[in-house]
């Protein structure tokens, strides 16, 4: 018969876009995305979706109310589905054993228990959330321990590899779809059913089937490898700044080796996002539990290097501004963890802002897609400050970059939004305090042009450049 009804538990950054694309590509399948957050579901059913993702609005508009539904009726969603995706959040534990490292599986377990309570027919349960290796075993234990007569379950691992900002493209043209399952006839049958769903648009050769544990580990490994590349190039950016080499030139030279490849070698103020850090910490924790301390230490370094990079960049801003930013106005361009998303989870901009606020700066923040309330919520969070009232007075949020730059001593680019490259920096220079500084944490601006205007420019992985006038003046003094 094949899969006719899919239910996805969790209407977040993964559940929403993934199921929208499944609905688009499988018109014969009815897809219902359920969530316990009424607010989130209401947003999915409104004109303004809860997440900003290029191309998502069009897909949702085409399918919503046809074969794509967003609902808080979790009970009906589970009961009617042949296949259930668990796409809930798996944050790092904040208390108890493994605090700060292990993945908190309470939401996954909660979803499994709901399925066990509600289901009264056979289900294929698909782990879409990123989980520790052998998490599927725990889900299966919960489901089978609560088995109703005549109800059987198959558990599959089908991790998601989409990146925010390009989620729809990534889903439509996935490099690979990974499906892990039990090596039993029933397990293989379940894998086959899920393959058929993806085969509506993904060529079969790009659908990889493995055992469950390989699939779970591959997801953690893929994120660890990607983050490792960023930490590697960021580590070299420090060497570049100390030696006069240029990290962009190094990245290009290294990346042209076809064995290495050019992607994910963009030096930055550090990686952010909800997953890289969380998933590597999870991997480190698993290694420690398996008594593999050398492996744990190896991957921990990727995180440590990222922390170092974020601090290095933030401290450099303070040092360059004559070792004090107290009372100075600093414009922050970009608050999201990368362009084309409104997501701020683990955004390196938060680290930069926190350092500057601790040093007494007044911040003028502009991001094209992050809601003002979200910026304030991030910067008044207890992990950033013990004095939220002070922060509310010293952080000002603007609707455009020109307003944010007015009266600022320095401008700091934290997110690589395309619109920042098209700004009129002559105009910006006029309204800033002098000397005017730009710290380009994403290496997206035309530094030569900025120097000509008169800015002091600092960036990642390249030595400090002084404005042309200052250099001329310096040479005149020497003669």
Residues near ligand NAD, by CB under 6 A: 9-15, 35-37, 40, 74, 87-90, 107, 110-111, 114, 129-130, 160, 162, 164, 274-275
- Residues 6 or more apart from 471 whose CB is under 8 A from it? none
Give the tokens for residue 143.
């489901």
Distance CA 201, CA 171 (A): 10
Identity of the residue, 70 or 276, whose beta carbon is nearer to ligand UGA in the bound complex: 276
* Interface positions, 104-143, toward ligand UGA (CB under 6 A): 130
**275 part of the active site:** yes
Q: Which of 338, 354, 364, 456 contacts ligand UGA by CB under 6 A?
A: 338
* 17 lies in the binding site for ligand UGA (CB under 6 A): no
For ligand NAD, give the closer residue by CB, 43 or 214.
Answer: 43
What is the C-alpha to C-alpha distance for residues 105 and 278, in angstroms, rounded to an integer?
A: 13
User: What is the CA 141 to chain-centroid distance, rounded?
Assistant: 31
Count helices and strands in the chain by DSSP H and E runs: 20, 15
Spatial distance between the Cα atoms of 391 and 379, rounded to a whole number of angstroms: 7
Nearer to ligand NAD, 14 or 330 (CB): 14
Residue of 45, 151, 161, 372 interacting with ligand UGA (CB under 6 A)? 161
Interacting partner of 15 out of ligand UGA, ligand NAD, none (Cβ under 5 to 8 A depending on kind): ligand NAD
The structure tokens 């380009």 sit at: 440
- 308 contacts ligand UGA (rule: CB under 6 A): no
Question: Does 230 sit near ligand UGA (CB under 6 A)?
Answer: yes
Q: Is the peptide bond before 155 cis (omega within 30 degrees of 0)?
A: no
CB distance 107 to 90 below 8 Å: yes
Nearer to ligand NAD by C-beta: 220 or 436?
Answer: 220
Integer distance in angstroms from the first to the last C-alpha of the chain? 87
- Shortest separation between residue 32's beta carbon and ligand UGA, angstroms: 23
In terms of CB distance, is 160 or 378 closer to ligand UGA?
160
| Residue 141: CB minimum distance to ligand NAD, A | 17
Please state the length of the chain.
479
Comparing CB distances to ligand NAD, the nearer of 36 and 312 is 36
Residue 378 contact, options ligand NAD, ligand UGA, none, Cβ 5-8 Å cut-off depending on partner type: none
Q: How many residues bind ligand UGA (CB under 6 A)?
A: 20
Should residue 264 be labelled a site residue for ligand UGA when binding is judged by CB under 6 A?
yes
φ/ψ (deg, to 5) at 25 = -90, -15
- Which range of residues in 259-267, 324-332, 379-387, 402-410 is near ligand UGA by CB under 6 A? 259-267
224 binds ligand UGA (CB under 6 A): no
H/E run at residue 418: helix 418-421
CA distance 45 to 73: 14
Output the CA–CA distances (angstroms, integers) from residue 451 to 1, 305, 412, in the order listed. 66, 30, 15
Query: What are the backbone dihedrals phi and psi of residue 124, each rounded to the nearest 5 degrees, phi first?
Result: -100, 120
Q: E strands, 35-176, where? A: 68-71, 83-86, 123-127, 153-157
Closest CA to 342 of 51, 66, 121: 51
Task: Indicate which of ligand NAD, ligand UGA, none lies near residue 37 (CB less than 5 to 8 Å, by partner kind).
Answer: ligand NAD
Bond from prior residue into 118 cis (ω within 30 degrees of 0): no
> Which one of ligand NAD, ligand UGA, none interacts with residue 88, CB within 5 to 8 A by kind?
ligand NAD
**Residue 290 burial (10 A CB sphere; 0-12, 13-18, 19+):** exposed
Residue 226 sits in the site that holds ligand UGA (CB under 6 A)? yes
Report, in Å, the least distance between residue 266 CB and ligand UGA: 3
Residue 337: name its binding partner from ligand UGA, ligand NAD, none (Cβ under 5 to 8 Å by kind).
ligand UGA
Stretches 24-32, 184-192, 271-279, 320-328: which one binds ligand UGA (CB under 6 A)?
271-279
Q: What minimum distance in Å lies between the beta carbon of 290 and ligand UGA?
A: 22
Q: Which of 26, 275, 353, 414 is catalytic?
A: 275
DSSP 14-76: THHHHHHHHHHH-TTSEEEEE-S-HHHHHHHTSSS-SS--TTHHHHHHHHBTTTEEEES-HHH
> What number of CA atoms fall less than 13 Å from residue 390's CA on the CB side?
13
Report residue 371: phi and psi, to 5°: -65, 145
Element (H, E) at 384: none
Nearer to ligand UGA, 67 or 223 (CB): 223
Residue 337 lies near ligand UGA (rule: CB under 6 A): yes
Cβ-based nearer residue to ligand UGA, 268 or 355: 268
Minimum CB distance to ligand UGA smaller for 44 or for 271 = 271
SS3 365: strand
- Window contacting ligand UGA (CB under 6 A); options: 26-34, 133-141, 160-168, 290-298: 160-168
Q: What minimum distance in Å lies between the beta carbon of 374 and ligand UGA?
A: 16
For residue 271, the partner it binds in ligand NAD, ligand UGA, none, with Cβ less than 5 to 8 A by kind, is ligand UGA
Which are the catalytic amino acids?
275
For binding to ligand UGA (CB under 6 A), which residues are involved? 130, 160-164, 223, 226, 230, 264-266, 268, 271-273, 275-276, 337-338
């Amino acid at each position: 018969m094949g899969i006719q009804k899919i239910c996805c538990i969790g209407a977040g950054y993964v559940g929403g876009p993934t199921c929208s694309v499944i609905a688009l590509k499988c018109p014969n399948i009815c897809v219902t995305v359920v969530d316990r957050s009424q607010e989130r579901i209401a947003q999915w059913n409104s004109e303004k979706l809860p997440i900003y993702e290029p191309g998502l609005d069009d897909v949702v508009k085409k399918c919503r109310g046809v074969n794509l539904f967003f609902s808080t009726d979790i009970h009906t969603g589970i009961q009617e589905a042949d296949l259930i995706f668990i796409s809930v959040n798996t944050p790092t534990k904040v208390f108890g054993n493994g605090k700060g490292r292990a993945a908190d599986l309470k939401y996954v377990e909660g979803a499994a228990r709901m399925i066990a309570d509600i289901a009264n027919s056979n289900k294929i349960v698909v782990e879409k959330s990123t989980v520790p290796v052998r998490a599927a075993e725990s889900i299966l234990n919960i489901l089978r321990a609560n088995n109703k007569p005549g109800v059987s379950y198959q558990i599959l691992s089908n991790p998601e590899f989409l990146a925010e900002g390009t989620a729809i493209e990534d889903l439509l043209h996935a490099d690979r779809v990974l499906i892990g399952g039990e090596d039993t006839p029933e397990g293989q049958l379940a894998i086959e059913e899920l393959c058929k769903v993806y085969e509506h648009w993904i060529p079969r050769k790009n659908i990889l089937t493995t055992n469950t544990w390989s699939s779970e580990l591959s997801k953690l490994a893929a994120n660890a490898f990607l983050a490792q590349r960023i930490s590697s190039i960021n580590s070299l950016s420090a060497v570049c700044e100390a030696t006069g080499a240029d990290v962009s030139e190094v990245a290009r030279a290294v990346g042209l080796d076809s064995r290495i490849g050019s992607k994910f070698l963009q030096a930055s103020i550090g990686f952010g996002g909800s997953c890289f850090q969380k998933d590597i910490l999870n991997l480190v924790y698993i290694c420690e539990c398996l008594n593999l301390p050398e492996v744990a230490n190896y991957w921990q370094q990727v995180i440590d290097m990222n922390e170092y990079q974020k601090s290095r960049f933030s401290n450099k801003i303070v040092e360059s501004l004559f070792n004090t930013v107290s009372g100075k106005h600093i414009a922050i361009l970009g608050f999201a963890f990368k362009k084309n998303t409104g997501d701020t989870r683990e955004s390196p901009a938060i680290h930069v802002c926190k350092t500057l606020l601790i040093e007494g700066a007044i911040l003028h923040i502009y991001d094209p897609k992050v809601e003002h309330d979200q910026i304030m919520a991030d910067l008044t969070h207890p992990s950033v400050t013990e004095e939220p009232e002070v922060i509310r007075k010293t952080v000002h949020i603007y609707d455009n970059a020109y307003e944010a730059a007015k009266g600022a001593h320095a401008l700091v680019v934290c997110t690589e939004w395309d619109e920042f490259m098209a700004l009129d920096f002559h105009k910006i220079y006029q309204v800033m305090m002098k000397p005017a500084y730009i710290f380009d944490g994403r290496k997206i601006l035309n530094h030569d042009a900025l120097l000509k205007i008169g800015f002091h420019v600092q960036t990642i992985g390249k030595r400090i450049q002084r404005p042309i006038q200052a250099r001329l003046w310096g040479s005149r003094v020497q003669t």
